[in-house]
Structure 1
Amino acid sequence: MKFLTKKKHIGLLLTLLITSGFAFAQNEADKIEDLISQKRSYNQQNKNTIVYKIQLYNGVETEAYKIESNFKSVFPEYKTNIIYKQPEWKTQVGNFETKLEADRVLLLIKEEFSGAIVLEDLI
């Protein structure tokens, strides 16, 4: 009889441990979901999105515009921008969402504009 009582006690103890473990895991899952929700909210309020641009030229203004004109005649499907960041003018192409996408376009562009590079930028 004592053996059965000990078995019941051990079974009860194991049941309590297992249920408390499930409750703990559920509590942790709720915390993780809450953190994910907070991160989404933060990202919506702080729209600092990383984009990739291809820089064709960095230097004087007249050359930047000449490079842009040449680029548009060869690659009319891509959007170009002329940017002035003191003390230099930059001719840049696109806002690519991924580095892979920018690298693929870079391979095409490098045939005509060998000095082109991919840059990361925040918008």
Structure 2
Amino acid sequence: MKYYKFEKNKIIMNILSKKILIGAFLMFLLNISFSYSQSENEKINNLIEKKRSFNKQNKNSTIFKIQLYNGSESQAYKIRNSFQSSFPEYRTDIIYKSPEWKTQVGNFETRLEADRAFLIIKEKFSGAIVLEDKI
């Protein structure tokens, strides 16, 4: 009978030690998982902060232009000269994008600023349009 009690206690101790080992192993895995997720969150937060900083330094990646003409080279230069005599305060560019020449006005930072100039320019150059351009 003593032998039976001893074996029973040994089995119970064996089961308890296995449960303790399994519990300790699970706690170890949870701790690794938790610290991994914390380091990943820190990395994500660092990336978000870098993106914000980049956006602040490069906030003018989109500009707006008013296109007056799209066609032949000679006509593009005529339109530019006519525009410059009427509106000397605006910068004009002649751009060639195969197969056409374009006469464009300004590098406006906001759509609102471009629309305000457009309303004035449209009175004299009825074919003008506002374009969004990436720089």
Q: How far apart, CA to CA, are the structure 2 residues paired with 1:106 and 1:44?
A: 28
User: What root-mean-square deviation, in Å, do the aligned CA atoms of Structure 1 and Structure 2 show?
Assistant: 2.7
Alignment-derived partner of residue 95 in structure 2: 83
Q: Any stretches of 5+ residues in structure 1 without a counterpart?
A: 1-26
Contact 2:60 2:109 in 1 (8 A): no
Contact 2:66 2:104 in 1 (8 A): yes
Q: Does 1:68 align with 2:74?
A: no
Q: How far apart, CA to CA, are the structure 2 residues paired with 1:75 and 1:35?
A: 45
**Residue 54 (structure 1) shift:** 0.2
Return structure 1 stretches of 4+ with deviation > 6 angstroms. Answer: 44-48
Q: Any stretches of 5+ residues in structure 2 without a counterpart?
A: 1-37
Number of equivalences? 96
In the alignment, residue 52 of structure 1 is paired with which amino acid?
F
Alignment-derived partner of residue 119 in structure 1: 131
Q: Does 1:49 align with 2:66?
A: no
Match 2:49 to one of 19, 37, 44: 37
Name the one with the larger helix percent.
Answer: 2
- Give the TM-score, by structure 2 length: 0.62
Match 1:104 to one of 102, 106, 116: 116
**Residue 50 (structure 1) shift:** 0.4
Percent sequence identity over aligned pairs = 69
- Give the TM-score, by structure 1 length: 0.68
**Residue 34 (structure 1) shift:** 3.0
Q: 1:45 to 1:108 in 2, by over 3 A?
A: closer
